Amino acid sequence: MQARDAAAVADLATQLGYPSSEVEIADRFGALKDRRDARVLVGEGSNGAIVGWIHMQITESLESGARAEIWGLVVAEPARGAGVGKALVEAGERWALSSGLKVIVVRSNTIRLEAHKFYEHLGYQVIKTQKAFRKRL
Ligand SMILES: CC(C)(COP(=O)(O)OP(=O)(O)OC[C@H]1O[C@@H](n2cnc3c(N)ncnc32)[C@H](O)[C@@H]1OP(=O)(O)O)[C@@H](O)C(=O)NCCC(=O)NCCS
């Protein structure tokens, strides 16, 4: 991703269910772009338009150590089913491997049944089902 992609990435984040403005995405990308533990990759259509993005993040916890996680993935509705999602995940996997990691985790809302089939098709296995909690401070 580059800064100029912010509007298209914001559009797709909104499609994913996370309403975001161009300015918000530009700010968040600005905070991520130079970090070694984060990578945002975009997929481009033949006309150069952004048709998908993936956010990869390396997380490090006491109980599991370092691993790569897919923190966001979306492909524009008209571009789905054409291999863009797979290409983005494979690019994310290459980045994780090149960062020395051998495991990728992805958490996906229980309602995203099609995404679950997609991940399973790409070799990902369900390891558990969780509840997510939030508290406003
Ligand atoms: C999930 C998503 C990223 C998949 O991207 P995509 O570009 O449509 O998927 P691809 O065309 O790359 O599919 C790759 C492979 O998975 C298979 N696949 C994709 N969706 C599938 C489904 N619902 N059931 C079974 N197989 C599926 C494809 O047939 C293809 O198989 P092949 O490589 O053997 O030809 C896309 O549908 C999307 O953005 N969905 C909405 C947002 C979302 O749910 N994101 C995930 C959040 S965790």
pLDDT of amino acid 126 = 98
6-21: average pLDDT: 97
Instruction: From 82, 20, 21, select the one nearest 51 (Cα to Cα).
Output: 82
Residue type, 96: A
The Å distance, Cα 52 to ligand 1 centre, comes to 12
Q: Which of 118, 122, 129 to mutate to test the pocket of ligand 1 (most atoms within 8 A of CB)?
A: 118
Residue 17 CB–ligand 1 contact under 6 Å = no
Q: Which atom of ligand 1 is nearest to the CA of 82?
A: 11
CB-CB neighbours of 29 under 10 Å = 19
Residue 89's pLDDT band (cuts 50, 70, 90): very high
**pLDDT tens-digit readout, 35-87:** 999 999 999 999 999 999 999 999 999 999 999 999 999 999 999 999 999 99
* Model pLDDT, residue 125: 98
The pTM of the full predicted model, rounded to 2 decimals, is: 0.97
